[in-house]
């Protein structure tokens, strides 16, 4: 038997043994390519400041001698640090027992699905949205329902969300604010309408991009009191420039958090992970110092794309979805050929670009300027002007992330 035959036989055997609902699926993953400008995964392009690096290294040195012991299973110091940070950032005071953390927000989301989903239960999300919501749900044996958004604007009204929640009777509802990949903010009325329309559901508001919200914009954290079925998830991967640190967390009623202990793996947060996150929170001001610059680059991208005839979606995050691309995969490849990696999120005629450094924005816009004559369609309406495209939803509409 040749090597190729053995490999093919092994592959066929694994496929035969695999759960039927996983056969033929592709693993999640954005391209990780070595190119000059990487703007495809919504990371913070700015490096961790030297002072923070030194503080982390000093703290880890003290940990190493004790790695023979398991970590603090309840990550007590980290939870306290997270509550202090949330109070400073959002103005909302929560108790440590309301906070739960994991190795990235995907792990805490998986804990929610493990605890409240399962065979015979439904999770509802409104697509296009963060694809890991459906992947986590389906791979953990819960039925996923693709809810609908407005086909043109990607908006989700309170009335539409509530009607769909009543119709599908979910055990879990996923909402994003702002929505990834569109960047659009979610009105508070929508969250409240879903809570009312789905009385038997845990409602998750994913606020991965909360630090990029406009000043004065409230967080869904303000809705937690009196809503024991509400969960708000956050991450340190974006604004904190700590994507490699893998720390995500959620805030909910203490009783809901307690239920997650039933499904978490023992000692799931390592001692180094807890230490790195805690030190990062101690240096939050230094790490978040780039947020305003990133928001400026986001707005610069919106204006620049609109001037080229593309149609950027108003964004309160660190990325911009833009359309009016007759051949989006072709444009993605053309940008890659120019040394710029963006994200093809599977929405016809659209691509998504992360707001990074000023130099990265210049490289992206220069490349788009060169490509626009052949890769951007005719201007669709007068509202694709830079001023109109850069106009965000009114702050009164609710939380952004």
Q: How far apart are the first and last CA of the chain?
A: 56
Q: What are the C-alpha distances in Å from 130 to residues 85, 103, 291?
A: 25, 18, 22
pLDDT in tens, 217-267: 778 999 999 999 999 999 999 999 999 999 999 999 999 999 999 999 999
The rounded distance, in Å, linking the Cα atoms of 400 and 159 is 19
Alpha-carbon Rg for the chain, nearest whole angstrom, is: 22
Q: What angle do CA 327, 329, 330 make, to 5 degrees?
A: 65
How far is the C-alpha of 312 from the C-alpha of 387, rounded, in Å?
A: 11
DSSP-derived 3-state class of residue 401: coil
The candidate with the shortest Cα–Cα distance to 260, out of 119, 144, 97, is: 97
Residue with tokens 């909360």: 210
Q: Which range in 9-13, 63-67, 150-154, 337-341 is most confidently predicted, on average pLDDT?
A: 337-341
Q: What CATH number matches the domain at 37-47+290-397, 3.30.420.40, 3.40.50.970, 3.90.1150.10, 3.40.30.10?
A: 3.90.1150.10
Instruction: Break the chain into its structural domains and give their ranges.
Output: 37-47+290-397, 50-287
Lowest mean pLDDT among 118-127, 183-192, 288-297, 302-311: 183-192
Residue 399: predicted pLDDT? 29
Tens-digit pLDDT profile for residues 66-96: 999 999 999 999 999 999 999 999 999 999 9
* 219, 186 contact by CB (below 8 A): no
Please say whether the structural domain 50-287 has been given the CATH code 3.40.640.10: yes
State the alpha helices, DSSP H only, in 265-357: 271-282, 284-287, 291-307, 328-337
Candidates 221, 200, 232, 28; CA nearest to 124 is 200
User: What pLDDT, on a 0 to 100 scale, did the predictor assign at position 6?
Assistant: 65
User: Could you tell me what percent of the chain has a pLDDT over 90?
Assistant: 82
When the pLDDT of each residue in the chain is averaged and rounded to a whole number, the result is 91
Tokens of 66: 């004790």
> 395 pLDDT exceeds 50?
no
Peptide bond before 178: cis, by omega within 30 degrees of 0? Answer: yes
Sheet holding 99-102, edge to edge: 99-102, 248-251, 230-235, 202-206, 172-176, 122-127, 143-148
Average pLDDT estimate for 2-7: 65
Q: In this structure, are residues 172 and 117 in contact, taking their beta carbons and an 8 Å threshold?
A: yes
Look at residue 248 and give its three-state secondary structure: strand
Residue 361 has pLDDT above 60, yes or no: yes
pLDDT score recorded for residue 10: 84
Give the pLDDT confidence of 180-225 residue by residue, as tens digits: 999 988 888 999 999 999 999 999 999 999 899 877 677 899 999 9
């Amino acid at each position: 038997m040749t090597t190729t035959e053995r490999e093919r036989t092994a592959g066929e055997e694994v496929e035969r043994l695999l759960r039927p609902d996983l056969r033929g699926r592709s693993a999640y993953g954005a391209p990780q390519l070595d190119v000059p400008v990487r703007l495809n995964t919504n990371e913070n392009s700015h490096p961790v400041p030297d002072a923070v690096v030194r503080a982390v290294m000093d703290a880890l040195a003290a940990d190493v001698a004790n790695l023979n012991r398991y970590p603090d299973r309840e990550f007590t110091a980290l939870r306290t640090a997270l509550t202090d940070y949330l109070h400073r950032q959002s103005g909302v005071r929560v108790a440590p027992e309301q906070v739960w953390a994991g190795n990235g927000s995907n792990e805490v989301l998986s804990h929610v699905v493990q605890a409240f989903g399962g065979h015979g239960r439904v999770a509802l999300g409104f697509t296009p949205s963060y694809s890991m919501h459906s992947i986590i749900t389906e791979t953990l044996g819960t039925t996923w329902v693709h809810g609908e958004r407005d086909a043109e604007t990607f908006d989700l009204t309170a009335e539409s969300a509530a009607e769909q929640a009543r119709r599908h009777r979910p055990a879990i509802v996923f909402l994003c604010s702002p929505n990834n990949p569109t960047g659009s903010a979610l009105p508070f009325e929508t969250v409240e309408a879903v809570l009312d329309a789905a009385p038997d559901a845990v409602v998750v508001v994913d606020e991965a991009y909360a630090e990029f919200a406009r000043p004065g914009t409230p967080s869904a954290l303000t809705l937690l009191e009196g809503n024991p079925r509400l969960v708000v998830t956050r991450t340190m991967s974006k604004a904190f420039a700590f994507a490699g640190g893998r720390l995500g967390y959620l805030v909910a009623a203490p009783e809901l958090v307690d239920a997650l202990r039933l499904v978490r793996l023992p000692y799931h947060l390592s001692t180094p992970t807890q230490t790195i996150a805690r030190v990062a929170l101690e240096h939050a001001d230094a790490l978040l110092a780039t947020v305003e610059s990133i928001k400026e680059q986001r707005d610069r991208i919106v204006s620049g794309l609109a001037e080229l005839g593309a149609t950027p979606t108003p964004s309160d995050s660190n990325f911009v979805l833009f359309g009016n691309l007759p051949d989006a995969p072709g444009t993605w490849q053309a940008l890659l050929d120019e040394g710029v990696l963006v994200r093809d999120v599977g929405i016809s005629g659209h691509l998504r670009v992360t707001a990074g450094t000023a130099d990265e924005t210049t490289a992206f816009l220069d490349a788009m300027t060169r490509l626009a004559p052949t890769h951007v369609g005719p201007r669709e309406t007068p509202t694709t002007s830079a001023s109109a495209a850069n106009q965000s939803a009114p702050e009164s509409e609710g939380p952004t992330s």
